[in-house]
Amino acid sequence: MPNATAEDLAKALDSVLHELRSPISVAQGYVRLLLENRLTDATERQHALRRSLEELERIAALCTSLSDYMYGNNRSFECAPYHASELVEALRADCDEQDLTLIVHPEVLQRTIHFLPLPLACSSLLAVLRASLRNAPALRRVIRVATLGPDLVITSGDSALHDRLMTATDRAEFNPWTGGMGLQVPLAVKCLAHAGLRLWTLPTDNVGVGMAIPLRPE
């Protein structure tokens, strides 16, 4: 964290520890119940294992976000070119897991990305997209990917944000999207901001986020 004071670092460390304690405590509790054979029903054991895995995945995601944030502070976001289809496949796998609908314009699959390395793009983008749809009703749990000039445009939510972002001449009409609760999403937002990306939402709507990712560094 460049130019951070000792107080800033202490606050950041406290936030990290707070975010880690909760999932660790939950996972410990379920593992302890399993080890002590206090869950005799097969359904209860499955639930305990599933919840433990979810909490461990939450810890892994937080560690990835921290790593990405450090990456973003210290390295260039230019990268070896990769096909946009690789990013789309990562999004598709996550959408299947999260019960989201993915709509991809065919043009996207023909493009190559020279900016925002794939691991960084996947972890940070997925954290942001998931958070933006956390409280969305079923019909709005949609992610759209399209191209607009030199940019890859990704939006979540219903079609209104996507349509306006694709046609807007002045993006000042949108509100900045800053993320949700917890530490992982703010870190992902900061990481993308370090890459020069801006996240937007509609002025009257907190569901959904839009972003334009340059296919090549400026």
Strand partners, 154: 145, 211
The per-residue b/e assignment along 70-82, b for 16 or more CB within 10 angstroms, e otherwise, is ebbeeeebebeee
- pTM comes to 0.70
Domains of the chain, start order: 6-74 (1.10.287.130), 78-214 (3.30.565.10)
How many C-beta atoms lie closer than 10 Å to residue 182's C-beta?
17
Strand partners, 151: 148, 214
Is the pLDDT score of 2 beyond 70?
Answer: no
pLDDT at 5: 57
Q: Which of the residue ranges 36-50, 181-195, 201-215 would you say has the lowest mean pLDDT?
A: 181-195
- The H or E element containing residue 199 is strand 199-201
Is the pLDDT score of 9 beyond 70?
Answer: no
Q: What is the pLDDT of residues 90-146, one digit of tens each?
A: 899 888 888 899 999 999 999 999 888 887 788 788 888 888 888 788 888 999 999
First vs last Cα of the chain: how many Å apart? Answer: 24
